[in-house]
Amino acid sequence: MNTLIAIVIGALAAGGVYCLLRRSLMKLIIGIALLSQSVNLIVFSAGGLKPASPPIIESDQQILQGNYADPLPQALVLTAIVIGFGLIAFSLALIHQTYRATGHDDIQSLKNTDT
């Protein structure tokens, strides 16, 4: 399971970086989305992957006992997903506006403010 999730994170990050390096604006946004998903998975797996061990206190206990899945990273990742979703939505609106203003989907055409 750990190996699999590591491969998935790596593949998502690699795909994200590949898309980031393309010339198209749209692909850049897709790259950022992939990269943030891979980071979400890093945070998600930060608490350790423990299947079938919910963090529920037994009825005769006062505190959590034994081997349980850490619920905190899941709460964190939920927050991160929501934030990421908002940012991606904003970026899409921004490239739509940029496309309307410049008529290009090409990053090379966005050089006017550099010099």
Partner 1 sequence: MMNNLVILPIFVPFICAVLCLIFRSTNAQRFLSLSGGVGATLAAGLLLQIVHQENHLVLHLGGWSAPFGIVLVADLFSSIMVLISSIMGILVTVYSLRDIDERRKKLYYFPLFNFLIMGVNGAFLTGDIFNLYVWFEVMLIASFVLLALGGERRQLEGAFKYVAINLVSSALFLAGAGLLYAKVGTLNMADIALKLSDQPDSILINSTATLFLIAFGVKAALFPFFFWLPASYHTPPTAVSAIFAGLLTKVGVYALIRSFTLFFNENFAVAQDLLLGLAALTMITGVLGAAAKYDIRKILSFHIVSQIGYMIMGLALHTSLALAATVFYIIHHIIVKTNLFLIGGIVEKLKGTGDLSKLGGLYKALPWLAVLFFIPAFSLGGIPPLSGFWAKFGLIKASLEIETYWIAGIALVVGIMTLFSMTKIWVEAFWKKEPQALLNHKTQKNLKLLYAPAIIMAAMTIYLGLFGQSVFGLAERTAEQLLNPSLYIEAVLEIEL
Tokens of residue 55, six digits: 């963090």
Task: Give the shortest CB-78-to-partner 1 separation in angstroms.
Answer: 12
User: Rounded to whole angstroms, how far apart are CA atoms 115 and 109?
Assistant: 13
Residue 58 region by backbone torsions, left for phi larger than 0, else alpha for psi between -120 and 50, else beta: beta
> Taking the complex as a whole, how short is the minimal distance between the CB of residue 56 and partner 1, in angstroms?
18
Identify which of residues 43 and 69 has a Cβ nearer to partner 1 in the complex.
Answer: 43
Closest CB to partner 1 among residues 56, 82: 82
Q: What is the token pair recorded at 16?
A: 């994200």
Q: Nearest approach, Cβ of 90 to partner 1 (angstroms)? A: 6
Nearer to partner 1, 58 or 70 (CB): 70
Please say whether the dihedral angle defined by the alpha carbons of residues 89, 7, 77 and 58, taken in this order, is positive or negative. Answer: positive
The secondary structure of residue 112, as a DSSP letter, is T
Q: State the DSSP code for 6.
A: H
Site residues, partner 1 (CB under 8 A) = 20, 25, 28, 32, 35-36, 39-40, 42-43, 45-48, 70, 72-73, 76, 79-80, 83, 86-87, 90-91, 94-95, 97-98, 101-102, 110, 112-114
